[in-house]
Chains A and B, each alone.
Chain A
């Protein structure tokens, strides 16, 4: 069995909304292995977003353990979490989230800047953009790029620090199906070539079908119902 890059044990997350406590996660456990392509699905309110935030080290679990790439991160302080995100997590967002004033190259450089890399920063950023097929768009600003190209810049940015995992939140959500498929193909080929672990949060069954494993979240826990039974339930 391959090495587990994500180990989540008994994660809970409670939000206090005034007097009311909302249990977004209720003891969720999962493992994701190195080089795996996993999709996370679930209806809204299932705790899917909360799980993504915790796996992406953007948020702390209320209790439980989370080990990312061999490092326990559940109890780190905010600034330590920032460093973990910088080194181990690459983010791809539905709405790209590029800095509008900066060129593609500068956008890709940004994680390296926060990592304190000064030497060869431009070259690494350039290579990353070449890897996503944008070698001719290095000095374009996001407004001068198509949606698909913008998402490629975002992918290059996610790759540039060689993270342990890439978290993609609805990466094709803002793109038409053709371009969306191109982005999916790119992500899958990067996984094949580089062995990058890919976690895709999606609503779209067509996207989920292209991943090696689908993790379904329901009511704050992983839904283990076998596929056949689920089909029956949904039919009923």
Chain B
């Protein structure tokens, strides 16, 4: 009995009970499709988030208050003065620009009868340079606005559209932020979606204005975040060292107990990679469970098939089939079931990943699920191994039937 014959016979046998074979295959199809789609979506998310992080620039440092590494008693908040000290070219020669930032995630902006909930950023002129943000029309927030605590606002395009239904010709309009009037001086360039949420759903006002009129902090000089731009990507480590030294001195921290955190883009990438790696593994793991269930389905159907065909097995043995022949016959059937299921599952998983990508694109979150060759190989090999593994027990049972008993079986 050659393998080719076994293959043909297995096909004939599966074909003779189409519904049953089909349902068994469906179990594997769902499992494999789930694995492929989950891995693709996980990887797509990873690509798009790391892409977004890379987009913020390789020479940027983020300085936060607080540190989860050290056991701290009194954390001193970051202040405007901290930012000014970091900006001192004698103290920090590798720092090119400093942009302190305060924000409120939830303010109400209104204009005419329209109202929108959005996030508000209090910024200095450096902010636009550091983040590489540009205005589509109008002007950026400048030093004069800052010093004069001017009631001026820059709108993100999404906010502009919500309030005015357009994104052009808005300079000179008035909006109310938390009920206070602000003059629109410009509209930001569209940034597009990011995995952190839309970067266009935002309003910028001068930091001084924000601090005194919108965002009340316990300490008047407190800021939420200091963005530091290093002279070049190569200088990021030195810049970080200088920033740390300045803050340690100003905050009079104990040795090894920094009350602030400095993160570079590299750190973000690493963190996000770790989180998304866990996320993808988790999704893949859940999908793998359904593959396992599919495998048990194969075992179940093969056991039914063996007991239904006991007489046939007896007859084949009487005609000279050895144990090996019967074993191969049933293993071929079970691995064929799972192989067919695996191939259909790969296609289906691909389609699901594609559809998810289309939905994401349609809702403004551009992210492309990536079906990797490794995922395809993994799914094909896994499903065939599942077929073999869950086929072995039933096939072995068939091969070890006593011909006399099997022939007598009703």
Contact = CB atoms under 8 A, between A and B. Distances in A.
A229 interface: no
Contact of B318 (A78, A91, A99, A113): A91
Contacts of A116: 1
Contacts, number: 59
Contact of A58 (B2, B312, B318, B324): B318
Interface in A78-101: 78-79, 82-83, 85-87, 91, 93, 97, 99, 101
A101 B16 contact: yes
B316 interface: yes
A179 B325 CA distance: 35
B1, B319, B407, most chain A CB atoms within 10 A: B319
Contact of A86 (B320, B402, B404): B320
B183 interface: no
A82 B322 contact: yes
A97 B325 contact: no
A93 B317 CA distance: 14
B311 A111 contact: no
A190 to B, nearest CB: 18
B404 A58 contact: yes
Contacts of B12: 101-102
Interface residues of A, number: 25
A110 B12 CA distance: 15
A114 B323 contact: no
A113 B322 contact: no
Contact of B320 (A82, A99, A101): A82
B404 A53 contact: yes
Interface string A91-128: 10100010101100000001101111010000000000
Contacts of B315: 93, 97, 99
A101 B13 contact: yes
B321 interface: yes
> What 8 A-B pairs are tightest by C-beta distance, nearest first?
A86-B320, A114-B320, A79-B322, A97-B315, A111-B319, A82-B322, A58-B403, A101-B16
Interface of B: 1-2, 5, 12-13, 16, 311-312, 315-325, 402-404, 407
Given A58-B317, A82-B317, A85-B320, 17 more contacts: A53-B404, A56-B318, A58-B318, A79-B322, A82-B321, A82-B322, A83-B322, A85-B317, A85-B318, A91-B318, A97-B315, A110-B316, A111-B319, A114-B316, A114-B320, A114-B325, A118-B2
13 contacts: A58-B407, A59-B402, A82-B317, A83-B322, A86-B319, A97-B311, A97-B315, A110-B316, A111-B320, A114-B316, A114-B325, A115-B320, A157-B319
Interface of A: 53, 56, 58-59, 78-79, 82-83, 85-87, 91, 93, 97, 99, 101-102, 110-111, 113-116, 118, 157
